[in-house]
Structure 1
Amino acid sequence: MTPRLFFTEDGLTAQVDVLSCAPCDDGFAVVLSRTPFHPQGGGQPSDTGWIGDSEVIKVFHDVEHVVHVVNAAVQTGKNQARVDATRRLLNTRLHSAGHLIGVCGERAGWIPSKAHHWPGECRVSFVPGNAPQPLQAQQVEEQLQRWIDADLPRMTRMEGDQRFIGFGELPAHPCAGTHVSSLKQLKTVPILSIKEKKGVLTVRYDVQ
């Protein structure tokens, strides 16, 4: 698998070797020696940006590599990869906020079952755990704001190839996504709705 630089650092540029570039349906599929780009997955959209002068339209992973789809061919050899900072920051904030909502649900006896961190579509779903308690939007917002005001730092640890992400002393969970370095970057996290249907509790949210 292509080494993913964002696992251990927050840099948005990297000197890379272009290993291959081949035509594909949406442009050209590029494989790099290492990548700062987050591929789509884990409920988070892919990064975009540039490899040299070619625009990175989307990024995904196949069985062996992270694949970067670009709008123009890139020569093999050394080049610079640059991640779109605005898109990365938004996706990062949304993903970190989703993790915190997951912790809120766990504290109330709910088990996170699915998360979707796309802009305008963010939600975390839960199934009942042991004696789940009702969740109220104001209650969740207030707890999130306390953690944000405390500016809890991101805590990262690796266990083999698996990365765990937490904040401060909050529980860490396996995650391959990008996250803020500390919680003040979230600013505020509005809870848009909390609904339960057929035993599944869904919390919809955004960041401001």
Structure 2
Amino acid sequence: MTEKLFYKDPYICEANCEIERILDKGDKFEIVLKSTPFYPEGGGQPNDLGYIDDIEVSYVYEEDDVIYHVVDRKPEGSVVKCKVDYERRVDHIQQHSGEHLLSAAFFKLFKVSNAGFHLGEDYVTVDMEFKDATEEMIKNVEKEVNLYVFKNEPIKTYFLSKEEALKLPLRKEIKAEGNIRMVQMGENTDFSACCGTHANRTGEIGLVKIIKYEKYKGMTRVYFKCGYRALKDYQVKHDYIVELTRTFSADPSEISNKIKNQKEEVIELKKKIGSLYASIASNKAQELLDSATNKFILAQYENEGFELMEKIYDELKEKDFILILSTLKDKKLILCQNGRFDFDCGKVFKETLKDFGGRGGGNANRAQASFEDKNLLNKYIEYLKENL
């Protein structure tokens, strides 16, 4: 059995430890120490990372009360210096302790249990066993959990038999057997069985901020951040707000209305542009019809984009012509015919387009393609004129 120093002090991250044995796993070695500050993966919490002497520890796991430290080479001495990544440890302490309090708040307010917990590098989630969460419910939970934090109550850990543990006011069923490690927050805020590392007092969690929530497999998945993660999240979002206040020359409280007004203006402008494009397209289509002398209508536009080209296509798609429209600005091409000509537009593209560095496709009457190079676009247009 490995002595777990992190249970004596959750913040201990350095210690001189005696090697018990080393297992050779081919390209890796697994070191077993008589005592260790390294927390192994378990209880929904990732393992610690760090160094044994100057050797990087890439993974730590526990099996039958023995903790294994995975490294890529053997240490030289029998006593080694262990150094755990302190920032990672503190982060895990804050997130895991915050999860306990958040789950306790949900249980107190709505009598719902936590069915899942994930502590990742970028986000932390809990899956609460109810479907129809509302914004007001989530805000009430967030207020409640931070009241627990601000009370700065002590957090105690101790071992009990399962029979003794079941006498406590637990919010979640205990499935483990044998000696149960209990985590008690405050006098009666929360009692949970857990093997993870936790703060000494609730105030060390710093802050619990719910980022978002969503429906998930008949439950509600809640995303949140605690402590330093919450601070970093606030700093990033604060920078966004500062930039927006400068851009809009407005107070933070006015930004939402400013964006809403600009969005409405953009929608209105798009309608006007669409109407203008339709008028321009109608005139250009008529010009092409008036100047057409054979079965082809070919038009290439240097500065106009694909949107205008499509509107011209809409004006001409039913006419008795093979239509080849292209835009040099977007390096795109449309080929179409009204069904009265003996070829399939999509099939032509499928068989020949790749020879000219183009990508695209379509059906019998219409196909479109894009090109990386304007010269290849024009070469393909010449190919179509010669072969259709």
Q: Same fold (TM over 0.5)?
A: yes
Question: Where does residue 200 of structure 1 map in the other structure?
Answer: 219
Q: CA RMSD in A?
A: 2.1
Question: Where does residue 129 of structure 2 map in the other structure?
Answer: 127
Q: Which one has a bigger Cα radius of gyration?
A: 2
1:92-107 correspondence runs (5 A): 92-107=93-108
After superposing the two structures, state which structure 1 stretch, 16-25 or 105-114, moved more. 16-25
Report how far residue 97 of structure 1 moved. Answer: 0.8
Structure 2 CA distance for partners of 1:149 and 1:204, relative to 1, 3 Å: same
Question: Where does residue 69 of structure 2 map in the other structure?
Answer: 68
SS in 2 for 1:190: strand
Structure 2 CA distance for partners of 1:126 and 1:31, relative to 1, 3 Å: same
Percentage of pairs with the same residue: 26
Structure 1 stretches (4+) deviating beyond 6 angstroms?
Answer: none
After superposing the two structures, state which structure 1 stretch, 90-99 or 47-56, moved more. 47-56
Structure 2 CA distance for partners of 1:192 and 1:32, relative to 1, 3 Å: same
Report how far residue 150 of structure 1 moved. Answer: 1.1
Question: Where does residue 254 of structure 2 map in the other structure?
Answer: none
Gap regions ≥5 residues in structure 1 = none
The number of residues matched between the two structures is: 205
Gap regions ≥5 residues in structure 2 = 162-178, 231-388
SS in 2 for 1:86: helix
Q: C-alpha distance in 1, partners of 2:207/2:24? A: 43
Which one has the bigger helix percentage?
2
SS in 2 for 1:99: helix
Question: Where does residue 12 of structure 1 map in the other structure?
Answer: 13
SS in 2 for 1:59: strand
Higher relative contact order (CA 8 A, sep 6+): 1
Q: Is the 8 A contact 1:17 1:76 kept in 2?
A: no
Question: Where does residue 77 of structure 1 map in the other structure?
Answer: 78
Report how far residue 125 of structure 1 moved. Answer: 1.2
Which one has the bigger strand percentage?
1
1:138-153 correspondence runs (5 A): 138-153=139-154
Q: C-alpha distance in 2, partners of 1:197/1:79? A: 46
**Residue 178 (structure 2) pairs with residue 177 (structure 1):** no
Q: Is the 8 A contact 2:102 2:142 kept in 1?
A: no
After superposing the two structures, state which structure 1 stretch, 180-189 or 69-78, moved more. 69-78
Q: Is the 8 A contact 2:2 2:35 kept in 1?
A: yes
Report how far residue 119 of structure 1 moved. Answer: 2.8
Report how far residue 115 of structure 1 moved. Answer: 1.0
Report how far residue 203 of structure 1 moved. Answer: 1.3
Q: C-alpha distance in 2, partners of 1:68/1:2? A: 11
Q: TM-score, normalised by structure 1?
A: 0.88
